[in-house]
Structure 1
């Protein structure tokens, strides 16, 4: 039986079906649910590929815990996933340990996408002005199957100089539930990405959203959680002073390892050539820099098709090849390179 999802972006309707993949069918791209940056990127990429290549991409907004097993069974071809969650999925850690018995999901990166900043968010009327004000407060750190949120919340807390033991840890099934807890004053802080649609309700209530600045002194400790994280400064973002520093990471586009090399090459090529078109779909895509599609901060190895393209462009450097070999040899995943 097929399961159908419909959704719209900029007036366009996309229809996706879960079915067995076969030759000549559209590629299937897994994303987070509608309203997420991952979903918006997937829908935009689907448009670009459909318009500028002979391929089609169907977007399935089911979340990575559904999409990743489907990639193993070749019912899914691509996934848009946060770089920290990608590394945990590849390593078989966190929520992915049980899914894979600790062996991890074998994935290959096509490109590191836009960087997006995140932090702990509090209500404007809470009286909390910085991370020190969170001590002893109730903070949502656990987000069920949304591994990237659970990781990012902890990285943000560490960047602000706190430990889990410094706060009362709360759980939420998703970011929407976390926002509701904040609105109902049942939580004092939640994890949030700048520009996240789910935070609009908070921005319209309780005197708005306050995004806490973390500083730049604790990055070695932050990167023990994941080397995906980078410090990022923003100019006058809503609710924070100019020059505030946030925990940032890339949204990654990854593929199953046996995706044909030519298909991977063509996808990366259209992303490279049409990178500026993505900014029309979301402000965060303005932070997309194609020269950073290939990077040693990737938490999983690259696909051969992507490496071929980046080598032609002269941006596949020795340090990236060293990182590639380390990731492949570390897990013995050399059969498909």
Structure 2
């Protein structure tokens, strides 16, 4: 389902049916990767529910990827954005591909859900485990979404390999990584469980299969070498988990909603309160948001501070200070 279409319809209905203060309110923009990405679908769901339930007008600003838009959110040019917690830490502290460019004005708004990242191959492929990907064709580069190099290496780590062990095919971001697979240019792709592009790839190639990990101390250590905040999470097959044919462990880590010091306190407060109060509706619109834990929306993110508007609400509901992840 195209959540951006649903989002656009909801915005149009909201504008036509509501008057006064809501109609006059400037839309709150959320920066995301391209349409179809799990962050884009999450933002669309948040926008729809917050418009329906709280009268907040929101709009999506889809860009090439998070490594492009985090500095834009930091500068206050877009008030909100979505990223994983590891990239948030890198951005705030000015590490890795943000070296020399710390984004010190980024502020955490809320932890949304665990991103369950894994590798997908064709269902009838002779690739049965992650180690079998050595020497195969895989996505590399990720020029617009550079965090994907680390998270893909984390997904490959349980197999004892990295992207250095595959035949690289340059892609720009998470969506072009799926497209390369559908076009037959790669033998696997990386994506978070529950994303619509997995269903599209499944239909395009006659079925896909997720490669899972063994949960051992050595595997956990290998994963954390790539993404220090990652852990292994047990997942089971379900209609929402396309490609997961049997239960197994997937590399996981948190996703957060972000703002900047320039995003008004009252805007952030209203967004957090509306998400907290309408969490069940968020999950109905986009299944991964069913994992939003309203009792743990405030969790510590290494190097990052919480936005004052968010902190105000978390103090009111007894979620302050943030829990250690």
Query: 1:83 touches 1:252 (CA, 8 Å); kept in 2?
Result: yes
Aligned to 2:47: 46
CA contact (8 A) 1:84 1:299 kept: no
Query: 2:298 aligned with 1:294, yes or no?
Result: yes
- Map 1:1-337 to 2 at 5 A: 7-9=4-6, 12=9, 14=11, 25-53=26-54, 55-62=56-63, 63-97=65-99, 101-217=100-216, 218-236=219-237, 237-297=241-301, 300-317=304-321, 320=324
Task: Give the Cα separation in 2 of the matches to 1:158 and 1:240.
Answer: 19
Query: 1:90–1:300: 8 Å Cα contact kept in structure 2?
Result: yes
Task: Tell me how large the CA RMSD over aligned residues is.
Answer: 2.8
C-alpha distance in structure 2 between counterparts of 1:318 and 1:84, whole Å? 16
Tell me: CA distance 1:199–1:271, structure 2 relative to 1, closer, same or farther (3 Å).
same
Deviation at 1:297?
A: 4.9
Q: Deviations along 1:85-140, whole A, 9 cap, x unmatched?
A: 2222223234434xxx3323521111010223111111123201111211222222
**What is residue 328 of structure 1 aligned with on the other side?**
none
Q: What secondary structure, in the 3-state scheme, does the structure 2 residue paired with 1:102 have?
A: coil
Tell me the TM-score normalised to structure 2 length: 0.82
Q: CA deviation at 1:157?
A: 1.0
Structure 1 unmatched ranges of 5 or more: 1-6, 16-22, 324-337
Gap change, CA 1:130 and 1:96, over 3 Å in 2:
same
SS in 2 for 1:314: coil
Distance 1:316 1:159, change over 3 A: farther
Whole-Å separation in 2 of the counterparts to 1:299 and 1:58: 28
> Residues of 2 paired with 1:258 and 1:56: CA distance?
19
Tell me what 2:19 maps to: none
Work out the CA distance in 2 between the residues paired with 1:318 and 1:197. Answer: 31
TM-score (norm 1): 0.79
Report the Cα distance in structure 2 between the residues aligned to 1:151 and 1:82, rounded to whole angstroms: 12
Measure, in 2, the Cα distance between the counterparts of 1:24 and 1:122. 46
Pair 1:259–1:277, CA change in 2 (3 A): same
Helix, strand or coil: the match of 1:204? helix
Deviations 1:2-54 (A, max 9, x none): xxxxx521671658xxxxxxx96332221222112212222222233334446
Q: Kindly state the Cα deviation for residue 227 of structure 1 after the two structures are TM-superposed.
A: 3.5
Deviates more, 1:107-116 or 1:256-265: 256-265
Cα distance, 1:248 vs. partner? 1.6
Equivalent pair of 1:14/1:59 in contact (CA under 8 Å):
no
